[in-house]
Amino acid sequence: MSNSKLSVKEGNMPNKNQVATENIDKGRRRFGKAGVATPILMTLASQPAFGWGGGMQCLSNMMSGNLSDPNRGDCDLGWSPGGWCHPVGQINGMDTISAWTSAGFDYGVYNPVGTGCSPQNSNKPDCYTGGSTISMMPAGINADGFSGDTTLREIICKTAGGGSDTRHCITAYLNASLPGINYILTQQQVIDLCNGTIPVPGGISLRSFLDTTWQ
């Protein structure tokens, strides 16, 4: 092979600097194309369950979508059925019975006459009598059709593990009625979820959804 032919072929071969530059340019083009979709995908993937994170998002914001404005209104988790049941517990910085009163309902009156009840056993829900009944709740909360004279305390405290939608609906309504917190659901949203007007978000059961709205 002549030197002239060899020199022509060598002249057509890119040098190391050209190869490096082309690789960088190709990498930039690939990154640029990926960058169009990546922020959206990362935003979607980073959304916590139901759009709630450190600052809880309200149901109305979640239902309307939050990608355009993820900071629209923060809401608070409420208290569980167990929290509202325990008569000497704490709810939002006050004792449980006072929290019931603040929410507009009556837990009941301590009665030490019952079996196992005495002044030192005021922490037992069974030692209380009277109190607000399910008939005092808005229509739609009584999803399981309890008798109208059944107390809210009985439903919350005695149906644990029994799969009662009413128990969860009462709890959610108490949270929505409690001053001083901005619960994830409004009173009307609780009613609408419990009577089926609003579909349960996430395609899960009503109880499973409400479980995510309290501490």
Q: How far apart are CA 73 and CA 161, in angstroms?
A: 33
Q: Report the half-sphere exposure of 27 (CA within 13 A, side-chain side).
A: 6
For residue 202, the model assigns a pLDDT of 85
Percent pLDDT > 90 in the chain is 53
The whole-model pTM stands at 0.71
- The answer to whether the beta carbons of residues 174 and 105 sit under 8 Å apart is yes
User: HSE of 77 in the Cβ direction (CA atoms, 13 Å)?
Assistant: 16
Q: For residue range 98-118, list pLDDT tens digits in order.
A: 999 999 999 999 988 877 887
